[in-house]
Structure 1
Amino acid sequence: MDLLRANLHKVRIPEPTNRIHKDECCVSFDTPRSEGGLYVDMNSFLGFGREHVAWNFEKSENPVYLHIVQRRKPEPDETDRPLKKPTLLAIGVEGGFGEQEPEYDVTYEIVILPEFVSLPFPSVDLPEKVRLAVDKVILAESADRKQQLASWVADKKIISAHAMDLQQLDNGVIVPPTGWKCSKCDKTENLWLNLTDGMILCGRWVWDGTGGNNHAVEHYQQTKYPLAVKLGTISADLEGADVYSYPEDDSVEDPILAQHLSHFGIDFSSLQKTEMTTAERELDHNTNFDWNRIQESGKDAEPLYGPGYTGLVNLGNSCYMASVMQVMFSTHPFISRYFEKQSLKAAFAISQADPTLDLNMQMTKLAHGMLSGKYSAPSQEGQEGIRPRMFKSVIAASHPEFSSMRQQDALEFYHHLIDKVEQANPGNHELNPCTGFKFIIEERVQCPSGKVSYNQHCDNFLTLSIPLHEATNKGGFEKLLFFCFLYRI
């Protein structure tokens, strides 16, 4: 305790604006769940794994740390489906997709370097300043949590431009409350009522055998009648009814749906919901879909472990980033620059005061995380991969698109990455790994007179067109394309 009191001036009480890195090490992918836990510097609030915390002490001379250890609780009997079924197309909000992570027991202690003297927490014997500082750290939102969007929610339905002035035919059609069937086939599910003429038709065919026979969309193509409502979704809660606009190619809101239904004799208040809406089907499919079905057909994928076989966890529509970084760190220039010729300790030593904001440090961290094999070992739970949140935060800083959680183009991200890496290594060809990606393209133009001109320019990418019939897994690829349109009627 005397040692702690002697270093009390090194302890800071965090302010609301401070970034507290208590989820992951700044120079590795160690977390409180790793062996050895995580050490949070009680002055800078940077987090470090057991192997790396001494480096921070040498550099900053901050001796007081909060040691956080999380140990997994025994799980109840596993089921194939989540215990709590999502009801909202969202991540991280009530009713949406949760992380579905197991529960952990968390322990805390105060550790003083360099001897790693430990003091229990909570304890009334600790100085009040330390107790207050630790409480603030524990209760505060982590830097990672602040950095990422708290949730991803499907766009709010727009009011259809065709709803308010929809022309309904006076053709005498009265729709019964039950017993519906497609007017052109025997389908009795996934039926859509066209709000112009009252035709009941089945929805789109889906590659997995579900859906309908495309009769509803074919009817629109022939008549151009714009709006349809899914019959099984109509109930007293009319806001939950699934209305689709063919011209707008989306689920929409019809403010006067009750009036449109009444035209065909439908009393919505007496109906019960019997089918899922388009959004609910998407939720259900995402919850239960066997993703192996859109991979190589008939092949069992065997997980690979070890150096170079570390996966990147999806941070939320971050597949574009993961695919580019897996490619980049399979090339010699990037492997040499950030893995073979630069250690984590060397990168940390030359990094700025906050290594989470240093591109060179985060590139090196990502390289060692992906290539060392430390985070790619068989376990009972399987290979989880690593979460490149700090890297994304740095590489996407001030970029309005890449800093979001929206889908992006991989080639655009590749160009952005090249620009950022070159800016971080100005005028130094030996340290700049991007020089290995540059080449000269020569273009030959011949005019009708027979004269020829040649033009050359430097570039770092080349587009190649690959016809679909050349694909070795054509069937699986076609299924993937169908999956992209799975929820359109």
Structure 2
Amino acid sequence: MAAPMSLELLKNLPSPRVPHGGEKVYKDECVFCFENLESKDGLYICMNTYLGFCKDHVLPHFKSTTNPLYLQMKVIKTKKPKEEVEKLEKPTRLAIGVEGGFDVEDENLYDIQEINTLVVLPDRAEFPLPNPELPAEIQASIAGIIAADSASRQEDVAAWDGDQKFISKHSENLKQLDNGVKVPTSGWKCSRCDLKDNLWLNLTDGTILCGRRYFDGSGGNNHALDYYKETGFPLAVKLGTITPNGADVYSYDEDAMVDDPHLAKHISHFGINMLMMEKTDKTMTELEIDLNTRVWEWDAMQEAGSKLKPLYGPGYTGLKNLGNSCYMNSVLQVLFTIPDFVQRYANQVEALFNAAPPDATGDFNVQMAKFGHAILSGNIPKHQLLITEIVLKMKG
């Protein structure tokens, strides 16, 4: 039961910090376990350090810091009706957490109710929010914490924004041969094979060649890449993606998709009027999005059509795959089958937690112990599995 406290007494407490742009606010999960905003008691965010804790781990933090003010944040999610979900727009950008990109949290699939409370420790006095009578400094800190992107979301967006490009070093002074080549506006074909799609125009001499062969045998025959190795001509534009707004440009020398500010001039050298072009082929970003949203791989992993009994309990906790983290997930699962590793990081959790530095978010021992205990104990509720997409068995 929360102890009573008057608003007047709040004025005698130390003022909290007010987060400004770019500061990390750890409001995704507890520093020492995987309790999160959807847990029964949500998370307690220290209004001085911006570290988040579950109900069990917040008191030790208070005792070590004597910071009395915490913002308790809790979320209740209710799945939206199927017809509402079907109306959602598909991703148009290979990025996470930005407009047009993938939604890490699947927020569009749920109606979300947020419950925020100011909590004062050690008595656990509670002040439901919003409350206009709170001191101005406390209100400013609360508003800043609620508005800030969580630390993990900042990292996800930075790591996954596949649309970030740089200007090619070859763009400014690209050498173009006066060889009389004029390229038609349609009807293209690879100069070395019969492929008529996934074609790239070399911006040095106007040669049209097919793109790379994908892992499944589709795509091209690698002729554009082979041509670069033979000639050293660095830039190519993907035919079919040219529009008045730009196109896909690849730098073989820099091994990356790049921006070419002089693209209109470079393609006009071969008789192509950029303003008259229409998109007829998928961009590389669209192709990658297709790969990341295809259903058949997921169906294959789940053995669609088969009757399987899900496993759950100690040693059977899964890990969430962010799209390209399945290899790391499998390595971690294997590591925690090694007895010495289990003894070091899963069987000595309390000792490692007690030796934690003030900010344990980046401490290897603490975070590895947190992880090991979670996947081996079986204490993670089914609805809070560390992983929902990929479950790797650790036994049998």
TM-score interval for Structure 1 and Structure 2 normalised by the shorter chain: 0.7 to 0.9
- Conserved? CA contact 1:169–1:196, under 8 Å: no
Specify the alignment match of 2:146 in structure 1: 138
AA at the equivalent of 1:74: K
- Conserved? CA contact 1:92–1:99, under 8 Å: yes
CA distance in 1, matches of 2:377, 2:183: 65
Q: 1:22 to 1:183 in 2, by over 3 A?
A: closer
Specify the alignment match of 2:42 in structure 1: 37
Higher Cα Rg: structure 1 or 2?
A: 1
Aligned pairs (5 A) from 1:220-369: 227-237=235-245, 240-246=246-252, 249-252=255-258, 257-288=263-294, 290-292=296-298, 304-313=311-320, 322-343=329-350, 347-356=352-361, 358-369=363-374
**Residue 240 of structure 2 aligns to a residue in which SS?**
helix
AA at the equivalent of 2:376: L
Structure 1 segments unaligned to the other structure (5+ residues): 387-489
CA distance in 2, matches of 1:168, 1:201: 19
Q: Is 304-313 or 248-257 further displaced after alignment?
A: 248-257
Deviation per CA, 1:218-237, whole angstroms, max 9, x where unpaired? 66667776654322122323
Q: 1:315 to 1:14 in 2, by over 3 A?
A: farther
Deviation at 1:371, TM superposition (A): 1.7
- Conserved? CA contact 2:191–2:208, under 8 Å: yes
CA distance in 2, matches of 1:159, 1:334: 47
CA distance in 2, matches of 1:294, 1:81: 23
TM-score when scaled to structure 1?
0.62
TM-score when scaled to structure 2?
0.73
AA at the equivalent of 2:98: V
Specify the alignment match of 1:75 in structure 2: 80
Aligned pairs (5 A) from 1:3-14: 5-6=8-9, 9-14=12-17
Q: Is 1:22–2:27 an aligned residue pair?
A: yes
- Conserved? CA contact 2:5–2:125, under 8 Å: no
Deviation per CA, 1:325-349, whole angstroms, max 9, x where unpaired? 4333322223223332443xx5444
Aligned pairs (5 A) from 1:446-465: none
CA distance in 2, matches of 1:290, 1:373: 30
Q: 1:360 to 1:243 in 2, by over 3 A?
A: closer
**Residue 351 of structure 1 aligns to a residue in which SS?**
coil
Specify the alignment match of 1:443 in structure 2: none
**Residue 51 of structure 1 aligns to a residue in which SS?**
helix
Q: 1:174 to 1:206 in 2, by over 3 A?
A: same
Q: What's the % identity of the aligned pairs? A: 43
AA at the equivalent of 1:282: E
**Residue 186 of structure 2 aligns to a residue in which SS?**
coil
AA at the equivalent of 1:274: T
Aligned residue pairs total 377
Q: 1:146 to 1:198 in 2, by over 3 A?
A: closer
Q: 1:279 to 1:67 in 2, by over 3 A?
A: closer
Q: 1:359 to 1:11 in 2, by over 3 A?
A: farther
Deviation per CA, 1:102-153, whole angstroms, max 9, x where unpaired? 2521011234556655432223455556545433433445455567774544
1:190 to 195, 198, 203: 198
- Conserved? CA contact 1:375–1:385, under 8 Å: no
CA distance in 1, matches of 2:225, 2:135: 71
